[in-house]
Amino acid sequence: MTAEADWGQLLGDAPVLPVVAVDDPERAVALSRALVEGGLPCVEITLRSPKALACIARVAAEVPGAVVGAGTLTRAGEVAEAEAAGARFLVSPGLTPTLADALLASKLPALPGVATPSEALAARARGFGAVKVFPAAALGGPGFLRALAAVTGDLRLCPTGGVGPATLAEYFACPRVFAAGASWPCAKELIAEGRWGEVRERARTLASAARAALAGEPS
Residues 6+ apart with CB under 8 A from 25: 51, 54, 55, 57, 58
Using pLDDT thresholds of 50, 70 and 90, give the confidence band for residue 15: very high
Q: How confident is the model at residue 2 (pLDDT cuts 50, 70, 90)?
A: very low
Q: How confident is the model at residue 214 (pLDDT cuts 50, 70, 90)?
A: confident
**What is the pLDDT at residue 1?**
34
Active-site residue (options: 26, 44, 83, 193): 44
* pLDDT for the residue 6: 83
The whole-number pLDDT of residue 90 equals 98
Residue 166: its pLDDT value, please?
Answer: 93
Chain-wide mean pLDDT for the chain? 95
Is 44 noted as a catalytic residue in this protein? yes
- What 3 state SS string does 47-71 have? CCCCCHHHHHHHHHHHCCCCEEEEE
d(CA 208, CA 38): 10
Reported as a single tens digit per residue, the pLDDT across 43-87 is 999 999 999 999 999 999 999 999 999 999 999 999 999 999 999
Query: What number is the average pLDDT over the span 178-201?
Result: 97
Query: Rounded CA gap, 13 and 208, in Å?
Result: 10
Please say whether the structural domain 3-211 has been given the CATH code 3.40.1410.10.
no
Question: What predicted TM-score, i.e. pTM, was given to this entire model?
Answer: 0.94
Which one of 26, 107, 132, 201 is the catalytic residue? 132
**Which DSSP state fits 147?**
H
Mean pLDDT of 120-135: 97
pLDDT above 70 as % of the chain: 97
Average pLDDT over residues 28-37: 98
Active site residue 188: no
Q: What is the pLDDT of residues 86-117, one digit of tens each?
A: 999 999 999 999 999 999 999 999 999 999 99
Q: Which residues pair with 16 in a beta bridge?
A: 180
The radius of gyration of the chain from alpha carbons, rounded to an integer in Å, stands at 16
DSSP bridge partners of 71: 46
Rounded CA separation 209/164 (Å): 10
Q: Report how far residue 164's alpha carbon sits from residue 169's, in angstroms, rounded to the nearest whole number.
A: 9
Strand, coil or helix: 12:
coil
